[in-house]
Amino acid sequence: MTLMEIGLMGSIFFVFYSAGRFINGYIGDAISPKKSLFAGLTLVAVTNICIGFLPSASVIICLWGINAAAQSMLWGASLRLVSESYKDSPHSRLAAVVLSTSIGSGSLLAIVISSLLAKVGLWSLFAVPGLIVAGICILVLLLQEKNIGIHQNDMRQTFQLLKKKEILYMLFPAFAHGMIKENLLLWAPTLFLGMYEIDLENAALFVFMMPVTVLLGRVSYPVAERMCSGDEKRLSIIAFGFCIFFIAPFFLANLPVVLAAILLALRCRGFQS
């Protein structure tokens, strides 16, 4: 695939994922989280396996869009399932921490598996994870689900929220957060492959540092919040400043590959604070 096609693929993913999160938030309230999880995981598995057959770039981009929409079904359902299951449990906070760190842990595992599969062939980078997700689908079917009520939400209430200044003020940093974080994760491998002319296996080692710091950021968030006396506004400002500080050197000099990897990793750490 060309760089333009990779960029289009990433853009399609972000558009479908963000739109899906908005829509599935309402759909997820109307059906059980177990059904939503199973449907999303099934679509993810099928599209991944199909991409593994390495069709044309246009077909891959379409499948990736469907994959993004399917992934958007997972987080809300997982969050609702855990919150309802541990509603009156003394372990509810621990369950929330485990759930929040699962993304970082999954990213680490994905990079490790991908670095190993790269030696097998590009087809395996999608097909094997697809088969793994298919196995998870079976586990979801075996999941014992409590009697979780169905919620009916009025979409008009959501649009009413957009009229509040407090919400509007948060939209810009939220958009900035998503654009910068996701684009860095998308283009980091290309950066190391192209700018530093290293092979895919070594690039994976450098990219591996980013989800490590993402995981550390998620785990250390409660500590950072306490240090800011629970002031989320102050914490957000510090986190954005953290990111700017570590990304600025890329505009000032040609950095050695190790230093570039460290700075990108630290920037990811800032975004997860």
What are the structural domain ranges in the chain? 1-153, 162-273
Give just the sign of the alpha carbon dihedral 47, 199, 188, 271: positive
Mean of pLDDT over the chain: 78
Q: In 129-166, which positions are buried (b, 16+ CB within 10 angstroms) versus exposed (e)?
A: bbeebbeebeebeeeeeeeeeeeeeeeeeeeeeeeeee
pLDDT above 80 (res 151): no
131: pLDDT confidence band, cut at 50, 70 and 90? Answer: very high
pLDDT above 60 (res 243): yes
pLDDT value at residue 146: 63
The residue among 173 and 9 whose pLDDT is bigger is 9
Question: In the block, which residue shows the tokens 């570590």?
Answer: 246
The residue among 45 and 260 whose pLDDT is bigger is 45
Is residue 205 within 8 Å of 41, Cβ to Cβ? Answer: no
268: pLDDT confidence band, cut at 50, 70 and 90? Answer: low
pLDDT value at residue 59: 92
pLDDT value at residue 42: 95
Q: What is the dihedral of CA 87, 95, 106, 189, to 10 degrees?
A: 90
- What mean pLDDT do residues 71-89 have? 83
Question: The whole model's pTM is what?
Answer: 0.73
Structure tokens that stand for 31 in this block: 């059906």
65: pLDDT confidence band, cut at 50, 70 and 90? Answer: very high
Residues 6+ apart with CB under 8 A from 56: none
pLDDT above 90 (res 66): yes
pLDDT above 90 (res 188): no
- 1-153: CATH topology is Growth Hormone; Chain: A; (1.20.1250)
pLDDT value at residue 202: 66
